[in-house]
Every structure is written in structure tokens, then in C-alpha cells.
């Protein structure tokens, strides 16, 4: 199989559902390989990590966007993402990122632990009630979506009643993060962007009239104070914070639960020893990353991983493949929370390293032990449905039964302490 064929396999419907065989084929050609004119694919952990940290590589800038997506200025979805910190290079990137970063410091994230635990507890109550008679419950709709959306909405100051709006809009918008998109998918993404921007334009106006103690107010004040954030950037970053704040974490909870249910022995250890949640969550992130790829472009000729990348080349960094690089992770297809080293590339690296990594980790570290402890009979049922997305990997629907656990056993036991843990 040629490199181009392996890449086509990755982009095919089968590759989107299970990209790992295509990653292995691509890896067979090298850690960095040319896959088309000026297009390179990276499957190596060390190489992807190096590129993400190397200032010669930049996120898509307007010049490359003009070349690759000539109509991007007419697309609300593409132009919105383009004005967010996710797709902005220095010096503007640091200016935008600093404005939001104060909310995501380790101290402020740690202070959210009890809020996350009580929201997760309430969602388990609802799931247990819905599944009491043995009826299947959709884990995505009942838990994996509402937990992260509730947390990020609370930080942004989005009213609780509005939360159900975002699942569709965000799913529609994030289609533009795919490496290939059809005109029909772009139209759907544009409609999602218009809804989300319209929503935030109203929230901005409300906070301007009546400030509150939330991230939206902080960004509105940064905009109104002068030249720190343009109107376009304000909306673009509010949208990206909301969307990045839950789409990915929903997928971490969904992908992660699927792995735990398929590994009952490992799940049982976590049930009894929740203090191991940090290692489990990082291994779940490595094993089936909610973000499978990102892209960069090089401003000059760069030699890396035995390849010479010309200036202006487009580099597809396959984070999901890097996370299974056997040079870093021996026996990479095995789920093993006891690995000597973890630190997967699921949150990226370098200047764009995920702003919400601490928050996402906290949510998962609280949620998995709590789910396993309160719903010990949780089991998959029927056929879960994978999304046909490559970049943001996750499920649409994941039916589970609550089993013999609807008593929701030790409701109220402190989160983070294992009964019988030494
Ligand atoms: C498991 C959950 C998550 C995963 C796997 C994830 C993954 C990522 C990755 C890979 C990037 C870097 C993209 C690149 O370098 O091109 C990123 C950036 C970002 N993430 Fe996350 N993310 C998660 C959760 C969150 C949460 C909860 C937030 C909450 C606010 C968030 C906000 C952001 C933002 C704002 C950026 C852009 C940072 C920048 O460009 O400087 N993410 N995320």
C-alpha cells in the first residue's frame, strides 16, 4: 500500500471509525512522511512533540488559509475559528490566551473539585433512576454531555436553561476541524457558527449591561478597556472556549467509559483505588484520544525525523498515532495505566497546549471512580454509535444498563477516598 492509499484509508468511513490500522500503515513508512505535494504526515511521538514546540511551525495563518481554503472569509465557521486563539500565531496568540488563562490556573481548577463532584453525583442519580427497570440509558446524553457542558457554562456564566442548545451547534461547527470537509458539511458548520455567535453576542450585551463574576464579563471588560481584544476576537474566543470546553471532554468520558467497560479487571482496581484516577485518565487519553490530530505549517525549510519539509508545507500531526508510537509506549495497543511514562500528546504541546487540560483531567478523574463506585453493575448494551469524525473522536450514542446497582450504593461517600485503601 502506498502512503497516499494509507492516508485515503484513514480518511475513509472505516478509517474514521477505527483509525488505528491506518496509523500503523503510515508509521511503516517513517515517523514523518510526505503524503502529497507540500503535505506531510507525522506519526512519531518525539517528532510531533518537537514540531508542536518549535516556533518555526505555526498554526494556519491567513496566507496559507487563502491558499488552502480560498473562500474562508465568507464562511462564518472558518472565519470565527481563524480569529480565536486556537488558530492565531504570536504575538496576538499570547495576548488572547493570557486574558482567559487566569480562570484555568491549577489553584482555581482544584477549587472546582467539589462542584464537579456534586454535579456528577446528581447526574448519576438521574441515570440510576432512568435505568432502574433495566431500560438502556444513553451515557452520552445523560452524563458525558451534561457534566462538561455544565462546568464550562458555569465558568462562562451561561444560564443553566440554555445548556441543551449547545450540543447540536457545537457538533455542527466542529466539522470544520476535520482535515477534509464537503460543501454540505461546511454549510452545516456555518449554521452552527451563526447560532453560537448570535448566542454569545446576546450574552455579551447582557454582561455589558450587568457585569457578573464570570469569564464572559472578564473578556467583555478586556474588549471595552481598549485594544486588548477586538469585537471579532471576543466572540471567536467565547465560542472556542465553550466548544473546546465540552466537545472534547464529552468524548473523553465516552471513549474512556467504553475502554473501562471493556477492561473490567482494570475498572475494578480503579473502583477500589480512586487515588489512581490520574494515571488511569492519562492512559485513557493516550489509548483513545478525543483529539486525534492537529495541523501546522512551517515558515522555513525544516529537517525533522529524516524528512526535509519545505517552507509553507502543511503538516498533519496525528496525535492519536503518536500516542501509540511503540518507541515511546511499549506494547502500545494494550490499555495499561501502570506505564512507566504517560504524558500523551492528547492535549497538544508548546504554546497552544490545551488551556483546559487541568479542567478536563479533573472532570474525568472525579467522574470515572464515582461512576464505577455508585453504578458497579454498569454494562454496555446494544451497539454504540461512533461519530464519523476523525479529528474529534467520540461516540454519538452509547447505550448502557445500570444493572444491579440502582441502589446507587454508597451515595454521598467522599469522592477521592477508596474504602479499604491503605
Ligand atoms: C479531554 C479534553 C480535551 C482535549 C483532549 C483537548 C485537546 C486540545 C488540544 C490537542 C489542543 C491544542 C490544539 C493545537 O495545538 O492545535 C487544545 C487547545 C485548546 N483547548 Fe483543549 N482539550 C480538552 C478540553 C478542553 C477544555 C475543558 C477546555 C476549556 C476551556 C479547552 C480549551 C482549549 C483552548 C482554549 C485551546 C486553545 C489554546 C491555544 O490555542 O492557546 N480544552 N485542546
- Summarize pLDDT for 281-336 with one digit per residue, the tens: 999 999 999 999 999 999 899 999 889 999 989 999 999 999 999 999 999 999 99
* Model confidence pLDDT, tens digit, residues 222-280: 888 876 889 999 999 999 999 998 999 999 999 999 999 999 999 999 999 999 999 99
Task: Using the predicted structure, report yes or no on whether residue 407 has a pLDDT greater than 60.
Answer: no
CA of 228 to the centre of ligand 1 (A): 22
Residue 406: predicted pLDDT: 46
The residue nearest atom 20 of ligand 1, judged by CA position, is 354
Residue 227: predicted pLDDT: 61
Task: Using the predicted structure, report yes or no on whether residue 419 has a pLDDT greater than 80.
Answer: no
Inter-residue contact 266 to 256 (CB < 8 Å) = no
Task: Using the predicted structure, report yes or no on whether residue 405 has a pLDDT greater than 90.
Answer: no
**Rounded mean pLDDT, 346-358:** 98
The residue nearest atom 21 of ligand 1, judged by CA position, is 354
Whole-angstrom distance, CA of residue 248 vs CA of residue 254: 10
Mean pLDDT of the chain: 92
The residue nearest atom 39 of ligand 1, judged by CA position, is 352
CA of 245 to the centre of ligand 1 (A): 7
What region does 171 belong to: left with phi over 0, alpha with psi -120 to 50, or beta? Answer: alpha
CA of 355 to the centre of ligand 1 (A): 6
* Model confidence pLDDT, tens digit, residues 69-80: 888 999 999 999
CA of 391 to the centre of ligand 1 (A): 12
More confident residue, 416 or 103: 103
CA of 358 to the centre of ligand 1 (A): 10
| Alpha-carbon distances, residue 381 vs 130, 147, 160, 396 (angstroms) | 15, 22, 30, 15
Cell of 128: 440510576
The residue nearest atom 1 of ligand 1, judged by CA position, is 249
CA of 159 to the centre of ligand 1 (A): 23
Sign of the C-alpha dihedral computed for residues 167, 172, 176 and 180 taken in this order: positive
The residue nearest atom 27 of ligand 1, judged by CA position, is 245
Q: Which residues, at least 6 apart from 101, have a Cβ–Cβ distance to it below 8 Å? A: 355
The residue nearest atom 43 of ligand 1, judged by CA position, is 354
Among 242, 170, 234, residue whose Cα is nearest residue 207: 234
CA of 241 to the centre of ligand 1 (A): 9
Whole-angstrom distance, CA of residue 206 vs CA of residue 208: 5
HEC states along the chain?
A: CCHHHHHHHHHCHHHHHCCHHHHHHHHCCCCEEEEECCEEEECCHHHHHHHHHCCCEECCCHHHHHHHCCCHHHCHHHHHHHCCHHHCCCCHHHHHHHHHHHHHCHHHHHCCHHHHHHHHHHHHHHHHHHCCCCCCEEHHHHHHCHHHHHHHHHHHCCCHHHHHHHHHHHHHHHHHHCCCCCHHHHHHHHHHHHHHHHHHHHHHHHHHHCCCCCHHHHHHHHHHCCCCCCHHHHHHHHHHHHHHHHHHHHHHHHHHHHHHHHCHHHHHHHHHCHHHHHHHHHHHHHHCCCECEEEEEECCCEEECCEEECCCCEEEEEHHHHCCCCCCCCCCCCCCCCCCCCCCHHHCCHHHCCCCHHHHHHHHHHHHHHHHHHCCCCEECCCCEECCCCCECCEEECEEECCCCCCCCCCCCCCCCCCCCC
Sign of the C-alpha dihedral computed for residues 226, 229, 233 and 239 taken in this order: negative
Atom from ligand 1 closest to the CA of residue 86: 40
Q: Which residues, at least 6 apart from 330, have a Cβ–Cβ distance to it below 8 Å? A: none
Whole-angstrom distance, CA of residue 24 vs CA of residue 41: 12
Pocket probe for ligand 1: among 354, 364, 394, the residue whose CB has the most ligand atoms within 8 Å is 354
CA of 81 to the centre of ligand 1 (A): 13
The residue nearest atom 31 of ligand 1, judged by CA position, is 356
**Rounded mean pLDDT, 363-387:** 96
- Cα dihedral: 220, 225, 231, 236 (round 10): -50
Task: Using the predicted structure, report yes or no on whether residue 365 has a pLDDT greater than 70.
Answer: yes
Pocket probe for ligand 1: among 356, 361, 363, 389, the residue whose CB has the most ligand atoms within 8 Å is 356
- Residues lining ligand 1, judged by CB closer than 6 Å? 85-86, 97, 152, 240-241, 244-245, 248-249, 252, 290-291, 294, 346-348, 352, 354-356, 359-360
Task: Using the predicted structure, report yes or no on whether residue 413 has a pLDDT greater than 80.
Answer: no
Atom from ligand 1 closest to the CA of residue 85: 40
CA of 246 to the centre of ligand 1 (A): 10
Task: Using the predicted structure, report yes or no on whether residue 412 has a pLDDT greater than 70.
Answer: no
Q: How confident is the model at residue 414 (pLDDT cuts 50, 70, 90)?
A: very low
Residue 1: predicted pLDDT: 64
Q: How confident is the model at residue 62 (pLDDT cuts 50, 70, 90)?
A: confident
Task: Using the predicted structure, report yes or no on whether residue 379 has a pLDDT greater than 50.
Answer: yes
Q: What domains appear along the chain, each with residue ranges and CATH number?
A: 3-410 (1.10.630.10)
Task: Using the predicted structure, report yes or no on whether residue 420 has a pLDDT greater than 50.
Answer: no
* Model confidence pLDDT, tens digit, residues 168-186: 999 999 999 998 889 999 9
The residue nearest atom 42 of ligand 1, judged by CA position, is 356
CA of 326 to the centre of ligand 1 (A): 25
Amino acid at each position: 500500500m502506498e502512503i497516499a492509499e494509507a492516508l485515503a484509508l484513514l480518511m475513509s468511513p472505516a478509517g474514521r471509525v477505527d483509525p488505528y490500522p491506518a496509523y500503523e500503515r503510515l508509521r511503516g513508512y517513517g515517523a514523518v512522511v510526505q503524503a502529497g505535494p507540500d503535505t506531510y504526515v507525522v506519526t512519531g511521538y518525539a517528532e510531533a512533540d518537537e514540531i508542536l514546540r518549535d516556533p518555526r511551525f505555526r498554526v494556519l495563518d491567513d496566507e496559507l488559509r487563502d491558499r488552502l481554503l480560498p473562500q474562508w472569509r465568507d464562511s462564518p465557521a472558518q472565519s470565527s475559528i481563524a480569529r480565536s486563539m486556537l488558530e492565531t500565531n504570536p504575538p496576538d496568540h499570547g495576548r488572547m490566551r493570557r486574558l482567559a488563562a487566569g480562570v484555568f490556573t491549577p489553584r482555581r481548577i482544584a477549587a472546582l473539585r467539589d462542584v464537579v463532584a456534586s454535579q456528577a453525583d446528581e447526574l448519576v442519580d438521574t441515570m440510576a433512576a432512568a435505568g432502574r427497570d433495566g431500560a438502556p440509558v444513553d451515557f452520552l446524553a445523560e452524563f458525558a454531555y451534561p457534566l462538561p457542558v455544565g462546568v464550562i457554562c458555569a465558568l462562562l456564566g451561561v444560564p443553566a436553561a440554555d445548556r441543551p442548545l449547545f450540543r447540536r451547534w457545537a457538533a455542527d461547527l466542529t466539522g470544520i476541524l476535520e482535515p477534509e470537509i464537503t460543501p454540505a458539511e461546511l454549510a452545516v458548520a456555518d449554521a452552527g457558527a451563526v447560532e453560537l455567535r448570535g448566542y454569545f453576542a446576546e450574552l455579551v450585551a447582557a454582561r455589558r449591561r450587568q457585569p457578573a463574576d464570570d469569564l464572559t464579563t472578564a473578556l467583555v471588560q478586556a474588549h471595552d478597556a481598549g485594544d486588548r481584544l477586538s469585537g471579532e476576537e471576543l466572540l471567536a474566543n467565547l465560542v472556542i472556549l465553550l466548544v473546546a470546553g465540552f466537545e472534547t471532554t464529552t468524548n473523553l468520558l465516552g471513549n474512556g467509559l467504553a475502554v473501562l467497560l471493556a477492561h473490567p479487571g482494570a475498572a475494578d482496581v480503579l473502583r477500589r483505588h480512586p487515588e489512581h484516577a490520574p494515571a488511569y485518565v492519562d492512559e485513557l487519553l493516550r489509548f483513545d484520544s478525543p483529539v486525534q490530530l492537529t495541523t501546522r505549517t512551517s515558515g522555513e525549510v525544516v529537517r525533522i525525523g529524516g524528512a526535509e519539509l519545505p517552507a509553507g508545507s502543511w503538516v498533519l500531526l496525528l496525535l492519536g498515532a503518536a500516542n501509540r508510537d511503540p518507541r515511546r509506549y511499549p506494547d502500545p495497543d494494550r490499555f495499561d495505566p501502570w506505564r512507566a511514562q504517560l504524558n500523551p500528546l492528547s492535549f497538544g504541546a508548546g504554546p497552544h497546549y490545551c488551556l483546559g487540560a487541568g479542567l478536563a483531567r479533573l472532570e474525568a478523574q472525579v467522574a470515572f471512580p464515582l461512576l464505577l463506585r455508585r453504578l458497579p453493575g454498569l454494562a454496555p448494551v446494544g451497539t454504540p454509535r461512533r461519530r464519523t469524525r476523525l479529528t474529534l473522536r467520540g461516540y454519538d450514542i452509547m447505550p448502557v444498563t445500570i444493572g444491579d446497582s440502582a441502589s446507587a450504593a454508597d451515595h454521598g461517600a467522599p469522592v477521592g477516598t477508596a474504602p479499604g485503601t491503605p
